[in-house]
Amino acid sequence: MKSKTLLTLVVCALAASFFSGCSTQKTRTGRNNSFLGGLVRYDTGSYAPVPHNTIDVDATQFLGRVNPSGDRMSLLWGTITTHDY
Protein backbone atom coordinates (compact mmCIF):
# COMPACT_ATOMS: atom_id res chain seq x y z
CA MET A 1 0.00 0.00 0.00
CA LYS A 2 2.82 2.41 0.87
CA SER A 3 4.64 1.70 -2.37
CA LYS A 4 1.54 2.56 -4.45
CA THR A 5 1.09 5.82 -2.56
CA LEU A 6 4.75 6.72 -2.92
CA LEU A 7 4.71 5.84 -6.61
CA THR A 8 1.61 7.96 -7.15
CA LEU A 9 3.22 10.95 -5.41
CA VAL A 10 6.41 10.61 -7.45
CA VAL A 11 4.50 10.35 -10.71
CA CYS A 12 2.40 13.41 -9.81
CA ALA A 13 5.50 15.43 -8.90
CA LEU A 14 7.25 14.49 -12.14
CA ALA A 15 4.16 15.27 -14.19
CA ALA A 16 3.74 18.65 -12.50
CA SER A 17 7.35 19.61 -13.15
CA PHE A 18 7.30 18.31 -16.72
CA PHE A 19 4.02 19.88 -17.77
CA SER A 20 4.64 23.24 -16.14
CA GLY A 21 6.25 24.28 -19.41
CA CYS A 22 9.15 26.36 -20.62
CA SER A 23 9.44 30.08 -20.91
CA THR A 24 11.94 32.48 -22.34
CA GLN A 25 11.85 36.04 -21.15
CA LYS A 26 13.81 39.21 -21.68
CA THR A 27 15.29 40.79 -18.56
CA ARG A 28 16.11 44.46 -18.06
CA THR A 29 19.70 43.88 -19.14
CA GLY A 30 18.54 42.21 -22.36
CA ARG A 31 19.52 38.67 -21.38
CA ASN A 32 17.33 35.61 -21.89
CA ASN A 33 16.37 33.18 -19.15
CA SER A 34 14.91 29.76 -19.93
CA PHE A 35 13.03 27.62 -17.44
CA LEU A 36 11.92 24.02 -17.65
CA GLY A 37 9.57 23.48 -14.77
CA GLY A 38 12.19 24.74 -12.34
CA LEU A 39 14.43 21.78 -13.12
CA VAL A 40 16.68 23.68 -15.54
CA ARG A 41 17.43 27.39 -15.66
CA TYR A 42 19.81 28.80 -18.25
CA ASP A 43 21.00 32.41 -18.09
CA THR A 44 22.97 33.84 -21.00
CA GLY A 45 25.49 36.57 -20.28
CA SER A 46 24.84 36.50 -16.55
CA TYR A 47 27.94 37.50 -14.63
CA ALA A 48 26.04 37.66 -11.33
CA PRO A 49 27.64 35.90 -8.36
CA VAL A 50 26.56 32.33 -7.67
CA PRO A 51 24.37 31.93 -4.55
CA HIS A 52 25.99 30.41 -1.47
CA ASN A 53 23.41 27.63 -1.04
CA THR A 54 24.33 25.75 -4.23
CA ILE A 55 26.95 23.30 -5.44
CA ASP A 56 29.13 25.52 -7.61
CA VAL A 57 30.82 24.04 -10.68
CA ASP A 58 33.21 26.38 -12.52
CA ALA A 59 33.35 25.20 -16.14
CA THR A 60 36.38 27.34 -16.99
CA GLN A 61 38.58 25.21 -14.74
CA PHE A 62 38.05 21.93 -16.55
CA LEU A 63 37.10 23.21 -20.02
CA GLY A 64 39.89 25.78 -20.21
CA ARG A 65 37.88 28.55 -21.84
CA VAL A 66 39.83 31.66 -22.68
CA ASN A 67 36.86 33.92 -23.48
CA PRO A 68 34.10 33.25 -20.94
CA SER A 69 30.58 33.91 -22.18
CA GLY A 70 28.98 34.44 -18.77
CA ASP A 71 26.44 31.65 -19.24
CA ARG A 72 25.08 30.01 -16.12
CA MET A 73 22.95 26.87 -15.80
CA SER A 74 21.16 25.84 -12.62
CA LEU A 75 19.79 22.34 -12.17
CA LEU A 76 17.22 20.97 -9.72
CA TRP A 77 15.90 24.33 -8.55
CA GLY A 78 19.36 25.79 -7.98
CA THR A 79 20.93 22.84 -6.18
CA ILE A 80 23.74 22.56 -8.75
CA THR A 81 25.00 25.60 -10.65
CA THR A 82 27.57 25.56 -13.42
CA HIS A 83 29.04 28.74 -14.89
CA ASP A 84 31.88 29.82 -17.14
CA TYR A 85 32.99 33.17 -15.76
Three-class DSSP category at 28:
coil
Q: What pLDDT digit, counting tens, does each position of 6-39 carry?
A: 899 888 877 776 666 666 667 676 666 767 767 7
Output the CA torsion sign for 78, 71, 41, 76. Answer: negative
pLDDT band for position 83 (cuts 50, 70, 90) = confident
Q: Are 56 and 81 in contact (CB under 8 A)?
A: yes
The mean-pLDDT minimum among 1-5, 32-36, 37-41, 79-83 falls in 32-36
How many Å apart are CA 31 and CA 47, to the nearest integer? 11
Q: What pLDDT digit, counting tens, does each position of 48-75 carry?
A: 888 888 888 887 777 666 777 778 888 8
**Burial of 67 (C-beta count, 10 Å sphere; 0-12/13-18/19+):** exposed
Whole-model pTM: value is 0.60
Element (H, E) at 14: helix 2-18
